[in-house]
Structure 1
Amino acid sequence: MKKQNLIDALYNCIAACNTCASACLGEENVKMMADCIRTDIICAEICATTAKLVAMDSSFAKEMVALCQKACKECGDECAKHDHDHCKKCAEACRKCEDACKTYAA
């Protein structure tokens, strides 16, 4: 169950990060959103790799989950700085994924 909860949180986070990055590109001041876009893309990639490794019960899963937890925290912190709805939703998904990583690793 912990494994499936983590995988679900990872895929929700990937979707939120991709949605946020795409929406940020449509914002009036895209340059101001550069760090948000960058962390969204990185977080989504790390979450995707983590989901694959966890699903395969890889010997690298534990380390990847720890890295993912860190990436989700960083992305959540960055998105939380912005008032856009897509950023707030992404920050929330990142926090949930960060928590799922902690629970899985415990």
Structure 2
Amino acid sequence: MNATYEECIQACLECMEACNVCYDACLKEDDLNMMADCIRMDRECSDICAFAVKSMQSGSPFAKQICQLCAEICETCGNECSKHDHEHCQKCAQACFRCAEVCRQMAA
């Protein structure tokens, strides 16, 4: 595995963790209706990050396409999380934007 794969796998794992933490923390917030889109995107993003890691580790011929889709979902999740002032949302947004950037490089 080249460094790019390693870097991308690492970014995906960090993003997945941030999304899972954010998801769990969002469920404890008072206004769940306000957090609904954030919660939904956290799940979606965590799942695609895990799938992207698996595709890169297993040398999938679709890894680049999966990373491209992962980048789009990460960016959407980051945009949603960044709307909320909670620390877990802000941290998640940063991890999402970083992952989106690395996945785009991977897919290029």
Q: Could you tell me the TM-score, scaled by structure 1's length? A: 0.98
Query: 2:15 touches 2:92 (CA, 8 Å); kept in 1?
Result: yes
Query: 2:65 touches 2:107 (CA, 8 Å); kept in 1?
Result: no
Separation in structure 2 between the aligned mates of residue 102 and residue 70 of structure 1, nearest angstrom: 9
Using the TM superposition, give the Cα deviation of residue 36 of structure 1 relative to its aligned residue in structure 2, in angstroms.
Answer: 0.1
RMSD of Structure 2 on Structure 1 (CA): 0.6
1:101 is aligned to 2:103: yes
Misfit runs of 4+, over 2 Å: none
* Counterpart selection for 1:67 from 66, 69, 85: 69
Separation in structure 2 between the aligned mates of residue 37 and residue 74 of structure 1, nearest angstrom: 12
Using the TM superposition, give the Cα deviation of residue 103 of structure 1 relative to its aligned residue in structure 2, in angstroms.
Answer: 1.6
CA-to-aligned-CA distance 1:63-90 (integer Å, 9 cap, x gap):
1011000000000000000000000000
Percent identity reads 47
Using the TM superposition, give the Cα deviation of residue 105 of structure 1 relative to its aligned residue in structure 2, in angstroms.
Answer: 1.9
Structure 2: state its 5+ residue gaps: none
Using the TM superposition, give the Cα deviation of residue 62 of structure 1 relative to its aligned residue in structure 2, in angstroms.
Answer: 1.1
Q: Which residues in structure 2 correspond to 1:1-106 (within 5 Å)? A: 1-106=3-108
Using the TM superposition, give the Cα deviation of residue 56 of structure 1 relative to its aligned residue in structure 2, in angstroms.
Answer: 1.1
One-letter amino acid of the structure 2 residue matched with residue 28 of structure 1: D
How many residue pairs end up in the alignment?
106
